[in-house]
Amino acid sequence: MSGEMSDLKIWVIIIVLGIGTFLIRWSFLGALGDRELPGWFLRMLRYTPVAVLPALVAPLVLWPAATGGQPEPARLAAAAATVAVGLLTRNVILAIAAGAVTLFGLLYLLA
Amino acid sequence: MAPSPAPRPDPQSSTPADDPASARALARTPGAAFRHGMLQAMPFLLVIIPFSLLFGVVATEAGMDLAKVMGFSVLVLAGASQFTAIQLITDNAPAIIVILSGLAVNLRMAMYSASLVPWLRGATATQKAWLAYALIDQSYALSIQHYERHPRLSLSQRLAYFAGTATMLCVPWLIATWMGATVGQAIPEEVALDFAMPITFLAMIAPMLRTLAHMAACFIAVAMALALAWMPSGLGLLIAAPLGMAAGALVEYWVERKRSTT
């Protein structure tokens, strides 16, 4: 699927992402010490995962590459089931299981 | 898991260990504290192992060879950002966008790092480097709870406890990635694995939507990402995500102000 990206480019991504992630984790422990963070900065940090991940996933759900970018009922239903179970149970693995069962169940039924 | 105003380390405190659990924690040798950390981390394996297996499978399906799949898990050691990077690589996004998006997902860890400083101040540079390497959501959550529950632990007890949780979590993470990559090579092309990644992300997001602010961040990020989907791959994300973060911070600020005035 990723035939167009060279090995070198992928290794550069892995290594830079690894170093960058390490520096984020090391930042205060290793260098910045007790420096107080500005309040607005802490506030923004708190919402990084909950903003980045949905922004990444929304287009994938509505316009899946596997169907040539056409919305597709099994994938939409699987997404809805995953979110519903995740909200209700707060359990990541249960939510994944619900999504997978819905997806493969519907793909089988609709085929 | 957000760091909150919490007891600070206070080794000079004269209050005796006021309950049996604290007394036990304070009496542990570093070796025992290490084993205690391992034991308490074990339930998290129910999340860590399937998640890591899935990463191995999905990354392999996306065309990564075993070395690259393991490279991600060993060098990055952060599930959500590994999945993010694989997704954007699949979309053939520019390397800089892949890296920035992957790092953005990990920014929350700066917060973890800051909140550990008062507890681990005396650690050596080498110890801090290892701490930073193994600072994942679960090792952080377990350790900060343990430190706040037992504020009079010695530095070596704290470090040993962290090392116990990190060992129990990170070693299986690496092994499960490797198993997933091996399994992934055996899965036939027809199976609809394209959607494994979206489902995984959604499953991670849903339990995070605890407050109005989290929902606002999510909603704005989604709305902007869809509106900007026409942009070159990955670029819309880099605009939508900060707007979502700002929305979350703003709503949190409003809610707090309202609470303090009423």
Predicted structure pTM score? 0.78
Residue B36: count other Cβ atoms within 10 Å of its Cβ. 19
Instruction: Tell me what pLDDT residue A86 has.
Output: 93
* B233: CB partners within 8 A, 6+ apart: B88, B91, B92, B93, B97
Instruction: Tell me what pLDDT residue B6 has.
Output: 47
pLDDT by residue (tens digit) across B222-260?
A: 999 999 988 876 788 889 988 999 999 999 999 999 988
Query: Could you tell me how far CA B186 lies from the centroid of its own chain?
Result: 29
Whether B26 has a pLDDT exceeding 80, the answer reads yes
- Give the containing element (helix H, strand E) for B55: helix B45-61
Whether A110 has a pLDDT exceeding 80, the answer reads yes
Whether B12 has a pLDDT exceeding 60, the answer reads no
Per the CB < 8 Å rule, is B217 touching A90? no
Per the CB < 8 Å rule, is A54 touching B218? yes
Mutation target for A interface from B205, B218, B230, B237: give the one with most A CBs within 10 A. B205
Mean pLDDT confidence for B162-188: 93
Contacts of B109 in chain A (CB under 8 A): 21, 24-25
* B126: CB partners within 8 A, 6+ apart: none
pLDDT winner (highest mean) among A18-27, A39-48, B1-10, B38-47: A18-27
The residues spanned by each domain of chain B are 24-192, 209-262
pLDDT by residue (tens digit) across A22-57?
A: 999 999 898 877 666 677 777 887 888 788 888 888
User: pLDDT category, B7, cuts 50, 70, 90?
Assistant: low
* B215: CB partners within 8 A, 6+ apart: B209
Q: What are phi and psi of B248, to 5 degrees?
A: -60, -45
pLDDT > 70 fraction of chain B, expressed in percent and rounded: 92
User: pLDDT category, B1, cuts 50, 70, 90?
Assistant: very low
Distances (CA, A) of B251 to B95, B125, B227: 33, 39, 22
Mean pLDDT confidence for A76-94: 92
The region of weakest confidence among A5-14, B164-173, B201-210, B250-259 is B201-210
Contacts of B128 in chain A (CB under 8 A): 26, 29-30
Tokens of B177: 């990635």
* A19: CB partners within 8 A, 6+ apart: none
Mean pLDDT of all residues belonging to chain B:
87
Instruction: Tell me what pLDDT residue B5 has.
Output: 43
Q: Which residue has the higher pLDDT, B233 or B38?
A: B38
Instruction: Tell me what pLDDT residue B10 has.
Output: 53
Instruction: Tell me what pLDDT residue A4 has.
Output: 63
Counts for chain B of helices (H) and strands (E), in that order: 13, 0
Q: Which residue has the higher pLDDT, A88 or B47?
A: A88
pLDDT by residue (tens digit) across B68-125?
A: 999 999 999 998 899 999 989 988 899 999 999 999 888 878 878 887 888 898 899 9
C-beta of residue B229 within 8 angstroms of C-beta of residue A60: no
pLDDT > 90 fraction of chain B, expressed in percent and rounded: 50
Whether A61 has a pLDDT exceeding 80, the answer reads yes
For A:51-110, CB contacts with B below 8 A are 51-66, 75, 78-79, 82-87, 89-93, 95-96, 99-100, 103-104, 107
